[in-house]
Structure 1
Amino acid sequence: MNPGSDSDSFDEGDLTAHGRKTKDKGSVRANEKGKQKAKDQSYAWEATYARSWDTVQEDEAGSLTSTVAELLARGRRRRLLAPAAAIRRTIIRHLVLLLDLSASMTDRDMRPTRFDLTLEYAREFITEWFDQNPLGQIGIVGMRGGIGERICEMSGNPQDVLKEISERHKLEPIGEPSLQNAIEMARSSMSHLPTHSSREILIVFGSLTTVDPGSIHETLSSCVKDRIRISLVALAAEMKICRELCDNTGGTFGVAMNEGHFKDLLFEPIPPPAQQNTGAGAGGKMSADLMMMGFPQRLPDIAPAALCVCHVQMRAAGFLCPRCGARLCDAPTDCDVCGLMIVSSPHLARSYHHLFPVKPYSAVMAVDSVPSPSATCHACALPFKDTPAASIGEGMSPFDRYRCQDCKSDFCTECDVFVQMYFIVVLGARRRQTC
């Protein structure tokens, strides 16, 4: 063979191979540029999500305390933007809290676990619920092992309800939940309630399955017939039957995305719901019935001990039923002897702030537009901010200043929330005299 031709063929092959290598390097560089470009450009779905860590900024001292306080105030202020018109509400409420105690509550997608977080939020919910609904009663039912387990009887004393869920080892999650058994147990405990009181069920559901002995749609029809309002907070995902339970009974439904959203959904049913127009009479107006209440006599601690009719135990302090004279431990409650509803005047007065809400204060966006602005809060006398906040939410004032439209006085965020949420008749009368 010709060595020259061999040499030429070798050089040609070497050049061909070198050309291929050069092409490969160019394609790699092009791919790297494309990946970098795709990394710099955000996806379309990312525009719909707001990154909360971008809104958290340190103050001059490098602390996040002021930012966290502002986020909490923003959440509380958002709840006060509801319409202030008078709405017919049921102030005598009866609620059954259904807790999912199945094995799915041991998941750690919510720290420390779904079960521990649910118990923590349940204690806060019970305390806040009784604070805003002093004439209400709460019962607790657990769902585990395919049955409904009664944890706490219907009670109007928050200490008794909190005591039943304080022992964690008695509520260990196990097995599968049963929505039908738990709802039937809650419905049977509210079958004797009068028509003027509300019947509500709040469910915390963390599973994707339910073990029911029969058709749950029959249970749903019974709840609609008995005017029981069902609200549900899902910790896993949305289920069709859960949505139907809430939509057909007039309740609320939500899927918790994180710990903060879980708490917001759980605390949403705390204010009394608007009364449904199911008993409308002539002219489309809802019928109203008078109800009988009794104001008991409080006994001192030095009173002689006697058996109470609620726990059948020897008690010294307590209340006397004004109708039959039976001794009761707490108020508000229903007398077990004559059936009279026993309430105290402070509890009745505190329930009125839901029926006659205070007009929401307007946020002051610019101090220059306010004639003769005050330097301190009209209620707590703390000084207002001198410099406006960098970022504010909807309905928030950058100067932490909110003005009453009647008396033209300025209040801080804490006083605004306190007046709007915990206003009672006595304070309302004083305010009207001041304004």
Structure 2
Amino acid sequence: MEDEEHDPKEYRWETGYERTWEAIKEDKDGLVESLVAEFAQKQAKRAAEPRRGPVRLGMMRHLLVAIDCSDAMNTQDLKPTRFLCTLKLLEKFVEEYFDQNPLSQLGIILMKNKRAEKITELSGNVRKHIKALQGLSNLSLTGEPSLQNTLELAGKVLRPLPGHASRELLVLFASLTTCDPGDINTTIQALKTDGIRCSLIGLAAEVRICKKLCQDTTGEYGVVLDDVHYRSLLLGHTAPPARARAADAGLVKMGFPHTPPPDHADSADPPITVCMCHLEEGDGVGGEGEGHLCPQCRSKYCALPAQCRTCGLTLASAPHLARSYHHLFPVEPYEEVANEGQAQYCYGCLRNFTEQDKQIYRCPRCCEVYCWQCEGVVGAALHVCPACAARPHLYQRLPDAASAS
């Protein structure tokens, strides 16, 4: 009985369970809604990426994603399997990557049976990459991967690219071993010399050679804990990395195509024109002559941005260029102030503030206030203050007024 009454041994999960119940406090109405909102606010603030200082970032990126297709991807610690979970998360990653980097390109490589195979070429075609990922769901996973062969293939693809664009490799590695034909340290040194940045996400455990690869090439290395952490690590690579000081800086020739008005409105049979986007995917020709014409060679494309297959010109629109700039000029951090009744509603969602909104966020330029949900959306998705964007004429005069004073 003495041992049962005085047992110094206790488990960590038991004490954490007790602390959780101690932290739960009801409000005067017997509800925990305010507490849940406070927990969610702290979690969102913890998960938010820290804003980086004045560093050089690449607006044009060339990224190769290497997927491990060995026996290790059959493991079911990530449901339903590591491979199927990876394919599902990669579809979201491709969409988010091109949304954040509209002027960049992406390619996919498979690591299987000690070889590296290129599935999609470097391109900005979102549909092409997602279609290729969906076609891999029934792929047989056999053999073991070769990290060195993957690095050699990535170097061969990325090495000829111009120096003003960043060259990156992201490896999704599930195996604990690699079967290499030679000295992998020589390959790592060659990638470092060429300025190719290699990052790796491990699905099993930390491997020394993988850590060395990322350290030598200034990449990032992470090991997943669960599917949520896997998604967080993967989407963390959508933001452009810091550029090296020795990287080249040069002018890039770009074209801004326009959509001509149809001159066959009165025609019963509109002309059939070839769309280079569909021709690349093997879907045939475009319809009714609608699309964007390259200003240099007049080739038609149904979606932008794109790399002209005829003349090699980078085709983009003004919104794509503006969206690429938000990494270089992020929105100013909002000031967190206590809600003392100075504001009645959130400028973003027009929701009235209540007693539960103890902390609100204020823009330092326009002094409009936002709730914590809208503050997160502005920093993660909009990248511009809605109130400042609605009244740009008020802030264009600020530098002149400051200089006059």
Gaps of 5+ in 2: 265-269, 396-405
How far apart in 1 are the matches of 2:148 and 2:375? 43
Which amino acid letter does the alignment assign opposite residue 190 of structure 2? S
The superposition leaves residues 141-162 of structure 1 with CA deviations (integer Å, 9 ceiling, x where unpaired) of 1112221122222221222211
Which amino acid letter does the alignment assign opposite residue 183 of structure 2? S
Residue matched to 2:335: 362
Residue matched to 1:54: 20
Which amino acid letter does the alignment assign opposite residue 76 of structure 2? R
Q: 1:84 to 1:248 in 2, by over 3 A?
A: closer
SS of residue matched to 1:221: helix
Q: Is the 8 A contact 2:62 2:168 kept in 1?
A: yes
Q: Is the 8 A contact 1:292 1:340 kept in 2?
A: yes
Residue matched to 1:375: 344
Which amino acid letter does the alignment assign opposite residue 376 of structure 1? Y
Gaps of 5+ in 1: 1-28, 280-286, 389-397
Which amino acid letter does the alignment assign opposite residue 315 of structure 1? G
Equivalent in 165, 169, 176 of residue 208 of structure 1? 176
Q: Is the 8 A contact 2:378 2:384 kept in 1?
A: no
Equivalent in 294, 305, 329 of residue 272 of structure 2? 305
Residue matched to 1:334: 307
Equivalent in 30, 38, 44 of residue 8 of structure 2? 38
Q: 1:81 to 1:221 in 2, by over 3 A?
A: closer
Shift of the alpha carbon at 1:181? 1.8
**TM-score normalized by the length of structure 2:** 0.82
Q: Is the 8 A contact 1:352 1:424 kept in 2?
A: no
Map residues 43-192 of structure 1 onto 2, 5 A cutoff. 54=20, 74-78=42-46, 80=48, 82-83=50-51, 85-192=53-160
Residue matched to 1:11: none
Please tell me whether residue 321 in structure 1 is matched to residue 272 in structure 2.
Answer: no
Shift of the alpha carbon at 1:64? 9.6
The superposition leaves residues 52-103 of structure 1 with CA deviations (integer Å, 9 ceiling, x where unpaired) of 9938969899999988876665454345462364432101111111111111
**TM-score normalized by the length of structure 1:** 0.77
The superposition leaves residues 333-367 of structure 1 with CA deviations (integer Å, 9 ceiling, x where unpaired) of 22222221111111111111111111111222x32
Shift of the alpha carbon at 1:410? 1.0
How far apart in 2 are the matches of 1:157 and 1:274? 25
Shift of the alpha carbon at 1:183? 2.3
How far apart in 2 are the matches of 1:63 and 1:184? 60
Shift of the alpha carbon at 1:418? 2.5
SS of residue matched to 1:150: strand
Shift of the alpha carbon at 1:37? 1.6
Q: 1:219 to 1:84 in 2, by over 3 A?
A: closer
SS of residue matched to 1:347: helix
Q: 1:183 to 1:171 in 2, by over 3 A?
A: farther
Residue matched to 1:9: none
How far apart in 1 are the matches of 2:323 and 2:58? 13
Q: 1:426 to 1:416 in 2, by over 3 A?
A: closer
Q: Is the 8 A contact 1:349 1:424 kept in 2?
A: no
Shift of the alpha carbon at 1:423? 3.8
How far apart in 2 are the matches of 1:103 and 1:156? 31
SS of residue matched to 1:291: coil
Residue matched to 2:399: none
Which amino acid letter does the alignment assign opposite residue 273 of structure 2? A
SS of residue matched to 2:107: strand
Residue matched to 1:296: 257
Query: What CA RMSD, in Å, does the superposition of the two structures yield over aligned residues?
Result: 3.4
Q: Is the 8 A contact 1:307 1:315 kept in 2?
A: yes
Equivalent in 225, 230, 235 of residue 267 of structure 1? 235
Which amino acid letter does the alignment assign opposite residue 351 of structure 2? L
The superposition leaves residues 221-245 of structure 1 with CA deviations (integer Å, 9 ceiling, x where unpaired) of 2211221111111111111110111
Shift of the alpha carbon at 1:293? 0.8
Equivalent in 417, 431, 435 of residue 376 of structure 2? 417
Shift of the alpha carbon at 1:113? 2.1
Shift of the alpha carbon at 1:411? 0.7
Q: 1:335 to 1:403 in 2, by over 3 A?
A: same
Q: 1:163 to 1:432 in 2, by over 3 A?
A: same
SS of residue matched to 1:96: strand
Map residues 224-303 of structure 1 onto 2, 5 A cutoff. 224-279=192-247, 288-298=249-259
Q: Is the 8 A contact 1:132 1:270 kept in 2?
A: yes
Q: Is the 8 A contact 2:87 2:133 kept in 1?
A: yes
Which amino acid letter does the alignment assign opposite residue 370 of structure 2? F
Q: Is the 8 A contact 2:87 2:137 kept in 1?
A: no
Q: 1:431 to 1:421 in 2, by over 3 A?
A: farther
